[in-house]
Structure 1
Amino acid sequence: MASNGSDRRVVITGLGTVTALGHDIDTFWKNIIAGQCGVDRITSFDPTAYDCQIAAEVKDFDPSPAFPSPKEVRRTDRFAQLGIYAGWRALQDSGMDLEKLDRDQIGAFIGSGIGGIQTHADQHTVLMNKGPGRISPFLIPMMILNMASGVFSMYYKLRGPNLATCSACATSTHALGEAWRYIKMGDANAIFAGGTEAAVCEMGIGGFAAMRALSTRNAEPKRASRPFDKDRDGFVMGEGAAVLVVEELEHAKARGARIYCELVGYGNTADANHLTAPAPDGEGAARCMKMALRSAGLRPEDISYINAHGTSTPQGDVCETQAIKSVFGDHAKKLAVSSTKGATGHLLGAAGATEMALCAKALQTQIAPPTLNLDNPDPQCDLDYVPHTAREMKIEAIANNSFGFGGHNATVIAKRFVG
């Protein structure tokens, strides 16, 4: 058992991503800083009858390198395929040799906001058309949202802590924060933490469209997701996954790991306000960022860059801006704040970890990723959102925000690693 003690330092040593802009972190980062956009007309089904006909889909995806056999792939919903693949990518990127490590001290926290929605829909059709006797025995294990975390741990014999967080669009940021806590308190030496989502399907698009949450800028898919822009009209759904290797510093050093950055703080609060709307003036988000700063032992002016939740919704972007100004005061105007959802769409439960992977690269390369499509800034969104073009700048510490339906707020803070 690892020794207990909150003085343990926690670092990120592996990045695994699969998004519409690439199936590995290097391709993803290259496309992000080049200002590429992964949004296009939906191809996985005919979207003609839907108000929203666009999404950021993961195309040409082959999960098989991460699975022991084709049969195991077939027994797994797409959301879990994406999550397990991202975990495999993170393992490769980390250089971790599991055969030489104590797997009782290595865990997996891979969450999802929705889980196996396509399997659910498909098997409901079977039930209605053919009766209950024809329902697949794999319906439940394919549908339930803990299976990415569970199956990944089975494939790699990870016997440490195992969780599947579920807090809507804050899911994978909570996974990272909880991994930080577990490791800091000595309950694990390393955790594969993140989230996965595959909700670009008839039920997923139809459900969010019925809420009027999605953009209907169907004729201009690459200009549809426009965080903080005056002409934004809703978010664009994305799919994909991100898993990060979160590791105790001495454990990482002992195996000669490359270290991207150090995780230093975590905030988790509730709005207790509304099913889908943020608290007025971003009050809950502000408390969350303050909690993260307190736990990190940092001052507001220590933060250089914020990866905003910034979903391109009329209300959410204003409330987040207000929250940032409330927490950071005069320093808010000096921050670089960007939302990468203009490029990736909104990956729901996978969004936070995907964006944290970009934050890790930002700290490593000293480049802030841009906010795409910010052509006509909203007067109520009056910060520096790094419009259009990536920016070389000094980045010492970052905050990564995620907020979810149900009033869930999550913030993680990381800083440039100094041995």
Structure 2
Amino acid sequence: MKTANMPEITLYLFSNDLRLSDNSALQAAIDDAHENNNALLCLYALEPHLFNRTGNQSPAMGAARWQFLMASVSDLKNNLNNQQMDLTVSTLGWVDAIEAAADEFTIKSIHVSATAGFYERQAIETISQKYPVKTHDNQSLYVLSELPMTLNELPKHFTPFRKRVEKTDLPAVSATPQRWPDSQRSCIDRWSELSAHASVEGSQFKGGETAGLAHLNQYMASDLPSSYKKVRNELMGWSHSTKFSPWLAWGCVSPRQIMQQLRQYEAERGANESTYWIFFELLWREFFHWNGLKQGSRLFHSKGSDVATSKTPKACEKFIDWSKGHTGVPLIDACMRQLNQSGYMSNRGRQIAASYLINDAGVDWRLGAAYFEQQLIDYDVASNWGNWQYIAGVGADPRGGRHFNIEKQQKTHDPKGHFVKRWAEYDVTTQSVRPSYVLS
């Protein structure tokens, strides 16, 4: 209930930007709070719909993704505590959590990172109808206003986008804020109930800014960037790709921080095709980000796929077999079992598995995209759905999709069968999680 003389606050809504360093949106909120002599309320709000089943589909938040997220939120909370700040963690969702906070405080302004997520943008629009909201380009390499094109002029395909953007100067990387305002904490906080989920054992991927920056530093201190392009299509092996994607997906590390260290690496050790290819892959991520922002809800549309056929009992059976690694095709089954156990799959494995589901099993690509959303710890809405569109030939693809020859892929990328053998004995029947606190 609103009362007179409630404390005035600036509110920072964390989203997929779970870091303090190189966080221009957070810095803007801090500056706003200082300028107006307000306390700062830092809020992270979980959306309940991520944990609920939709029709026959499993929840969008799988176990591995959930654990990585909770570890990331825990690290963010600890880092804020080290700055004498607090983090309120809510399970009400963005809109309802801010409404609840408004019963305790007078919200003078809200700052949030711009996102390509359609539902998140809808939530921001709803919030903006009642409160002053400022969005910031904080999850991308570039700021929209500094791109050599408007969003409406964004090319349909990656190559013309890359050629126009890759020589554009990158925004500077900022350090962790040094001068913080007073901290506020809301009574809607439920971290004490969630903290039991914040530890991850047995995974090479540990969520959070601390672990993400440590991995970035370790990778750039090695010789691996100079050979990245040669080994990036390997199906297994920790050092065969950068492994930046989980921390990028949750914003524990920014793409600008990666580029800053990559440029330093090139200055000290020399640039080559492999170091450029790391930048090249970040540009793909960038393209998908702006493409997702431009497409909006169209990112999830079938665009001509045979939806009726894909929903037949036979198609549903094929999807279930694919998702569990029961297709009988060793390479596909190995890829899916790796995903189900670890929450991760190599980029090459994702392309092969997606191509099989679409082109060989004849299943609607959106079912595969939704399953990857549930399972991947590095799920990013624009990159995931954009890549599935790319394989299906209904998105950013001038050549009508990608149909991989599975036998050829096996001979090229796992000629001795080590990857298939590694996952041959692993089996699982369910990979969904519905934390009890959401169901109460």
TM-score per shorter chain, which class? Answer: under 0.3
Q: TM-score, normalized by length of structure 1?
A: 0.27
* Structure with the larger strand share: 1
* Structure with the larger helix share: 2
Q: TM-score, normalized by length of structure 2?
A: 0.26
Structure with larger RCO (C-alpha < 8 A, sep 6+): 1
